[in-house]
């Protein structure tokens, strides 16, 4: 199993976005978590494709694009063209989820399904074999720097069991409230891609990113 830190640029200083991304990349982060919000599926609006295209020119990280938008199928093509490597859409925002996952794969990108905290895992039942990643929201989506919802741990554990029982290699990404006091809990429950926004970006971006990259590398070593 690979363990990855996915720094969420939502908490970066947008006035120095290039520098902030360079800092986490230099610290060893292989993933970059990119939150697109439409002001409909979630209350907030973040940024869109021109920003993703611009940072694509400066970074060779895996672009993990989390679409928090209604009817995300409208934007699959453009997300792919903007430089995404993984495109994750919310089950709650998409009526024809099976078809949307196929569209993502047709663009040549990896596909993920995201679930809000209260959405049960059974919506994944028929699609689990078709996706590369499941993103479990451990806060209600829309904002950075919120508190990890405790019942997420049981959900991560149950999803890991589902994936293992079916003999799949699907990644489990956990998003929201990941910091020094929650990262181990999420890992031990079975997550392998850990999003961290406010715990990474700030006064000491490089130092924070280095700390979590090391923690995940050490964890991967122990699990070998
Ligand atoms: C929230 C976003 C997250 C957010 C996480 O809706 O999907 O990716 O940036 O921020 P932290 O790590 O601060 O909870
Ligand atoms: Zn996110």
User: Using CA positions, which residue lies closest to atom 6 of ligand 1?
Assistant: 141
User: Using CA positions, which residue lies closest to atom 7 of ligand 1?
Assistant: 141
Residue from 193, 185, 133 nearest 157 by CA: 185
pLDDT at residue number 209: 98
**Has 35 been annotated as catalytic?**
yes
175 C-alpha to ligand 1 centroid (Å): 6
> What is the spatial distance between Cα 157 and Cα 138, in angstroms, rounded to a whole number?
13
197 C-alpha to ligand 2 centroid (Å): 9
pLDDT at residue number 105: 98
Residue from 195, 221, 219, 202 nearest 29 by CA: 195
User: What strand order describes the sheet that includes 133-137?
Assistant: 4-7, 193-196, 171-175, 133-137, 110-115, 86-90, 62-68, 31-37
Q: Which residues of the chain have pLDDT under 50?
A: none
Give the ligand at the shortest distance from the Cα of 86: 2
Six token digits for residue 121: 């895992």
Burial 13-35 (b: 16+ CB within 10 A, else e): eeeebeebbebbbebebbbbbbb
Closest ligand 1 atom to the C-alpha of 42? 6
Closest ligand 1 atom to the C-alpha of 140? 6
Residue 112 Cβ inside 6 Å of ligand 1? The answer reads no
pLDDT at residue number 224: 84
Give the ligand at the shortest distance from the Cα of 64: 2
Closest ligand 1 atom to the C-alpha of 144? 10
Q: Dihedral sign, CA of 39, 41, 47, 49?
A: negative
- Active-site hit among 38, 64, 171, 175: 175
pLDDT at residue number 90: 99
Average pLDDT, the chain: 98
Q: Are 42 and 68 in contact (CB under 8 A)?
A: yes
Question: How close are the terminal C-alpha atoms of the chain, in Å?
Answer: 8
**Has 175 been annotated as catalytic?**
yes
Q: Are 112 and 131 in contact (CB under 8 A)?
A: yes
pLDDT at residue number 6: 99
pLDDT at residue number 63: 99
Residue 46 Cβ inside 6 Å of ligand 1? The answer reads no
Looking from the CA of 144 toward its CB, the CA atoms found within 13 Å total 22
- According to DSSP, the β-strands at 133-137 and 171-175 are parallel
């Amino acid at each position: 199993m690979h363990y990855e830190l996915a720094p969420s640029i939502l908490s970066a200083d947008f006035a120095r976005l290039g520098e902030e991304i360079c800092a986490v990349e230099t610290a060893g982060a292989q993933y970059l978590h990119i939150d697109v919000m439409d002001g409909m599926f979630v209350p907030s609006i973040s940024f869109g494709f021109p920003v993703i295209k611009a940072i694509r020119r400066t970074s060779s990280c895996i672009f993990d694009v989390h679409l928090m938008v209604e009817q995300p199928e409208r934007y699959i093509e453009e997300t792919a063209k903007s430089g995404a490597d993984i495109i994750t859409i919310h089950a709650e925002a998409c009526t024809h989820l099976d078809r949307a996952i196929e569209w993502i794969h047709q663009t040549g990108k990896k596909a993920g399904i995201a679930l809000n905290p209260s959405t049960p895992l059974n919506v994944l039942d028929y699609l689990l074999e078709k996706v590369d990643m499941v993103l479990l929201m451990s806060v209600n989506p829309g904002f950075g720097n919120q508190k990890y919802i405790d019942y997420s741990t049981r959900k991560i554990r149950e999803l890991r069991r589902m994936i293992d029982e079916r003999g799949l290699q699907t990644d489990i990404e956990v998003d929201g409230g990941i910091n020094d006091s929650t990262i181990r809990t999420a890992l031990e429950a079975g997550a392998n891609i850990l999003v961290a926004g406010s715990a990474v970006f700030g006064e000491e971006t490089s130092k924070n990113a280095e700390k979590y990259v090391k923690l995940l590398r050490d964890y991967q070593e122990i699990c070998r």
